[in-house]
A and B are shown apart, each in its own frame.
Chain A
Amino acid sequence: MKLIRRKALALFAGLAAAAALPLGAIAQAQDMPAPLDNPGDVKIALVRYLSTGDFFQAYLSGVEAQSKALGVDLRVFDSRQDAALQADMVDQAIALGVDGIIIQHGLTESMKEAAQRAVDAGIKVVAFDVNVENDAIPQIEQSDYLLGKLALEQAIADNGTEWKAGYVYVPGIAPLDRRHVAWEEVKEANPGIVEAAQMGTLDNPIANSNANQARSVLQANPDISVFFAPYDEFAKGVKIAVDEAGLSQDVKIYSADVSTADISAMREPDSAWAATVATNPAVVGEVSVRALAIMLTGGDPGAQVVVPPTLITQDFLNENDIKNMEDLSANMPQFAHADVAMTEWMPLPPR
């Protein structure tokens, strides 16, 4: 009897805690270790290299949500693909007296020294998707290799191992380079998979420029049955070209990344976009802030914090009538929250 009562009490306490969670960010602040016991005085900076596109918007929203849940003061620096400016912005953040910095993308060469200066100034730094060659700086990663690999495994599951492929790739962009490794491996392992054409450009608007190129590729290689476009802006472009060529029944597109716009494109009737593999960029943003918070409190998130990706197929979207990212998170728990960079005291953004 006593036992039951205790259980009921615990259950009740759990429920109360759960109900309080969205409101309780401030109430919980006292439970967080120093300096986060007084989070209003903690300043962190997000220094961005890439910001245009759905992925980067969602990443920012994740960073903002987790910062808000912690109660820290977030400053956003956006260099808009200017590598030199991004390095200057790190110095600016140092001058501002921030406690922590998240470096989001960038070039190793330009960021390595700036990151070292921040570390020397006693600032905790984490880096997302850029290798700054520094042992004091943990790497946050969505596993781009796995992203490519899962998409291609699905392509093989759908189409067998004998097909002509169109491939969209721009070398020199770190995440694309890592996804490229998966493509090379799959081609190696399956001699029946032939790369008939390679294309790709980052001219903006990216989808429009790639649509023009893909249209030419499809015209020159009418026997292409699979397009591997491992970046959603690429996939959007290829889909426009496939639709314009009237080939939506004959070509299947496999890509990486996902957004609300991508979901609606995948769910159009007869859409050629068969599957995409993604980590939720908002979750990656949250993980970046959590890793930084762990460092600020003297903890160690590990040298590499990898956020695992999820396969999203057109069939899954249709079966569950998923219309946007919120629906997707609701239907795919592994997409809504990644159990990495977690501690007992860590407050989570409201869902």
Chain B
Amino acid sequence: MDTRDTAEQAELRRSARRLARELGPATVAGLDDTTRAKRLAAAVHDAGWLELRNDAGDGRPLASGVESTIVVDALAGRAADVAFSGPVLAADLARRAGAPEAVGSVVAFTRGLVEAAEVDGDVTSSPLYAVDCGGEQLGPVFALQPDGDGYRLARVRDGGPIDGAVGGADLTRRVCTIAPGAAVLPVARQDRLLTRDDLAAWIALGLALTSADLVGAMRGVLDLTVAYAAERRQFGVPVGSFQAVQHLLADAVCLMEGSLSVALHAAWAVDDLDPEEARAAGRVAKAYCGRAARTVCETAIQVHGGIGNTWECMAHVYLRRALLSSQWFGDAGEQLRHLERERLGAADGLS
């Protein structure tokens, strides 16, 4: 047992953080700088990070769940407005289905963003949501089509410019709504059916990525807030010298550190534990990180005082990012409900 980064992981962490620092938005106004955002997207693409879960040629991914979460933690830490988890999750699902051409697209979710969309028939019958879908162009969007005991990958959009509603709470990642009536198309060259185990392992990756995103957001918003508390003066002294403020920030640091510990384990579990155990590890991480991130981001807004409640303060950008990451694959309450059922058995009528 040794939970420290390997030398390669430490180097990846350094370079991902450096890239996010250099090309992330830095200010709220910076979010409108499309030149910078394009450079960021190109840099993430060129680094090869979107391919971390692609097929290495033997059915296994090019890198473990740990490497993907290292990148997403770094991106979230600077509120980097670039698609990452969405494409990586699509690539991972495509790899499991033996459909390599799916790389670079995203997966459709049902309302609530908790589960990958299941489609049956030729057209979709309810709105679907493509999470973290990136820039103006939308690649093929994948959904699950029941087939015997498993699922096939299907396309519910064939790419092209985004035409549905785009937006959501998060100002750094986009959720595209795919209106009902979208054609359901087959995915060519698909070697395998997705099994329950495939989906459990894929959900484990989703939980690990969203947990790591929350950890990054917590670190980023805390860095911002601690710097502000040390600098902002009232009553002739920095507000960070007051215990009332210090204790809020100390609580937040602890929540972030505890979250990091569970998120690292969930990331490792993706490829090193059985699918159901990996998913359970993901649920523990997400339950903890989900609750923690909400508190930490709210603390950040409180410590920023009046300015923290204005659009120009970066704190709400992190809070908004945390809201999407929390909801995606299920919030803390959702995870606790699953853990309860798995560990305590069913309670008819009362639960």
A complexed with B: no
Binding site for A on B (CB under 8 A): none
